[in-house]
A = this chain, B = another copy of it.
Amino acid sequence: MEKYNVAILGATGAVGTELLDILASRDFPIGKLRLLALEVGTTISFRGSDYVVEEATPEAFRDIQIAFFAGGPISKVLAPEAVKAGAVVIDNSSAFRLEPDVPLIVPEVNIADLNNHNGIIANPNCSTIIMALAINPIHQQAELKRVIVSTCQAVSGAGKAALDELNGQLRDLLDGRQPAASVLPVASLDEHYPIAFNLIPQIDVFQDEGYTKEEMKLVLETRKIMHLPSLPITATTVRAPVLRSHSEFLNLETSRKLPVEEARRILAAAPGVSVLDEPDRQIYPMPAFTAGRDEVFVGRIREDRTVPAGLNIWVVGDQIRKGAALNAIQIAEQLIARRLV
């Protein structure tokens, strides 16, 4: 089997760590592996060998075929350099997602878009991937007319500092001390609020008309992935004191009525989706039980009788795994299978 030289930019962070775990477990055909991050000199073990983290420079991509970029503002500068050096970049940042010549890929939804890549392939926002997996199979059987999504997103989505802060706040509160906050909702902004025992209705910065950037990602990225540039979607995103896995309330209007049993069958047959929906046995998706799982879990599927054809669905998925690292690796696997690298 042919092997590929792989680089991971941001190898020491949450997404980088997850990328390495999944690459190892899926037996990805790696030739040379280069790990890049700010923590130059750190040693990381992979498949029994030790790798020293190197500096992320344009030269670091010279003999690399597939480069995973874990995210962050560095992508904007380095991704074009890596492409010039000959690599195909799978980028988890938001820098290129809405560029017309950059494919934005959820493999189960729009893998054919990969054929037109120009060196950079964008990995969608975590909440977007999780929603797309649940709504695309529905759309294939009963055209979507409107999507209302409300999210409760895990603290790990804001990075390790946010997780540490949640744990510290909980210890403070359980011991009767006032909790401090300096990370959430957005570290670089003025106001910070505790997330312990709280819900913060702000993820990322505010943009036009009172919507946050995270909310607009759900709207704009979903439209691009599904090739539905005018699909009506409205989103509200909230941070919740959950460690890992994002949860989403979906309200869907469809062109024809889908009975609950049919919706369950459609979703059960959809790749990457697992149905957990047995109210009689109290079986439904919960974020505490889906961390580390590849699939997106759907449940609480109900007809919404306030419209002629509507569904309420509750969706939960590990936002670091399928919401980021796994999706990126599935893209790389398809690049190889389609000889696009």
Contacts and interface: CB of A to CB of B under 8 A. Distances in A.
B170 A209 contact: no
A316 B200 CA distance: 11
Contact of A148 (B241, B247, B251): B251
A320 to B, nearest CB: 15
A339 interface: no
A341 to B, nearest CB: 39
Instruction: Please classify the interface of chain A as helix (H, G, I), strand (E, B), loop, or mixed, using the class held by over half of its residues.
Output: mixed
A25 interface: no
B306 A193 contact: no
Contacts of A167: 174
Contacts of A240: 152, 199, 240-241
Interface in A248-262: 249, 251, 260
Contacts of A45: none
Interface string A277-319: 0011110111111000000000111111111001010101000
A197 interface: yes
14 contacts: A148-B306, A174-B174, A190-B282, A193-B289, A197-B241, A197-B242, A197-B287, A197-B288, A201-B300, A206-B279, A210-B279, A210-B300, A236-B300, A238-B249
